[in-house]
Amino acid sequence: MSSERPLVVLIVEDDSAIRELSAMILEDAGHEVHAVRDGDAADAWLQQNEADLLFTDIRMPGRITGEELARRHAHMRVLVTSGELKEQHPWLDERMVYLPKPYDRKALLAAVRQLAA
């Protein structure tokens, strides 16, 4: 674990392999991780719990997209991931960090550090 303060991270990712690997990377770095498969589950979780960081895919099944989730929880730090180009998402704002897929351990941890600063 690093000397940085551990964060409570909510991962929202419909691909189970990516969700599980991302959770493992963040847990190994000392963070408390909660992971769900879609925006609907994330929104429900956030109504009952608090997180320091929302790490969300953009396109997922269900009614709530990553974009909508980020807007509903505008008070949070948000890490957004997608296989699409960042320019395809003009709604991204200065409180968000964009992490293109595919990403590796180093890129994920760097993005989390950037948001934690």
What's the pTM value of the predicted model, to 2 decimals? 0.91
Q: Write out the chain's pLDDT in tens, 117 residues.
A: 444 789 999 999 999 999 999 999 999 999 999 999 999 999 999 999 999 999 999 989 999 999 999 999 989 999 999 977 666 667 678 889 999 999 999 999 999 999 998
The two beta strands, 77-82 and 53-57, are: parallel
* Tokens encoding 97: 């960090």
Domain 8-116 has CATH 3.40.50.2300: yes
* Tokens encoding 66: 């990553």
* Domain chopping of the chain, boundaries: 8-116
Residue 38 pLDDT: 98
Containing H/E element for 54?
A: strand 53-57
